[in-house]
Amino acid sequence: MKLFVRELTDNRCSFVVDDTRPDIVNLLRRTMVTEVPKMAIDEVEFHMGPIRDEDGNEYDSNSALFDEMISHRLGLVPIPTDIEHFTFREKCECNGAGCPHCTIIYVLNKKGPCTVYSGDLQPLGDMSLKVKEELIPLVKLKEKQALLIYATAVMGNGKAHAKWQPVTVCGYMNYPKVKINNDVQVDDPQKIVAILPKGVLDHQKGAFVLKDIAPLEKKDASFYDSQIPAIDGKKPVEIGYEENKFVFSFETDGSVKAKDALKFALNILSERFEELREQLSGIDEA
Ligand SMILES: [Zn+2]
């Protein structure tokens, strides 16, 4: 399996995988979606009863939404996660009691009238854990309404709940393939060149030439193929798909860097296959 990265930003990655099979690429996709972990808010404690500000004004701990709905929205807020640093509570050396390696506590203290945003969540301690996407609206507070919330974020993965799934829009398609049949006589070759995305095909010295296939990546190759007319039953240019080469792309919700998500998924696959290999060697020895 060979991997060529085409695009890599903090939240987005696209790469070409060559010399592989559809089941292997699908395994990578499933691992990316279900196994790559992130921190997400899992427990929310609402202050009940009146809330007072510094001037002694009293507010109701209340809002237009049920507490359950606010909790659900809090669960979906992308929490910045360094997957090298954080670990699952059940695997943590604190034995699940909660420590800076497995738990983040946020406080949200807002008084109406206002809109409460994800950026109002204040981490206890390390300010680098402040939510990066600050403008996700959570709830509106009216006059005399207030919220005082303690929210606990822990590590999880997509197998348990979608809120722990940092990888989104994850998918792949077969790599395009262009076959040129220069024995087919074409009246207006530039018309054929113009059908394909710019830069793919050229017509020089009476023959079609493939210049660069990259503009066809992530495009619907069968659509372009359907646009090319056949002459006496044969097409001058045929667009199809490679069987063992794919374009893979995914995004993250901003909690985990795209590069870290990919590395994590590849490592986990490698560990699992290594375990399998060790167990199989045990069968030989038995
Ligand atoms: Zn811990």
Q: Rounded to the nearest whole angstrom, what is the distance from the C-alpha of residue 120 to the centroid of ligand 1? A: 25
Q: Rounded to the nearest whole angstrom, what is the distance from the C-alpha of residue 175 to the centroid of ligand 1? A: 44
Q: What is the pTM of this model?
A: 0.86
Return the CATH superfamily for domain 38-159. DNA-directed RNA polymerase, insert domain (2.170.120.12)
Q: Rounded to the nearest whole angstrom, what is the distance from the C-alpha of residue 84 to the centroid of ligand 1? A: 14
Q: Rounded to the nearest whole angstrom, what is the distance from the C-alpha of residue 252 to the centroid of ligand 1? A: 25
> What are the angstrom distances between the C-alpha of 94 and each of 81, 89, 98, 204, 264?
19, 8, 6, 69, 23
> CATH code for 2-34+168-250?
3.30.1360.10
The tokens of 159 are what?
Answer: 């197998």
* φ and ψ of 274, to 5 deg: -65, -45
Q: What is the mean pLDDT of each run of 10 residues along the chain (286 residues)?
A: 92 95 95 97 95 91 94 97 94 94 96 96 94 96 96 96 96 94 90 93 92 90 92 92 95 96 95 89 74
Q: Could you tell me where in the chain the CATH 3.30.1360.10 domains are found?
A: 2-34+168-250
3-state secondary structure 230-247: CECCECCEEEEEEEEEEE
Q: Rounded to the nearest whole angstrom, what is the distance from the C-alpha of residue 228 to the centroid of ligand 1? A: 61
Q: Could you tell me where in the chain the CATH 2.170.120.12 domains are found?
A: 38-159
In the prediction, which pLDDT does 146 show?
96
> What are the angstrom distances between the C-alpha of 239 and each of 50, 132, 222?
68, 43, 7
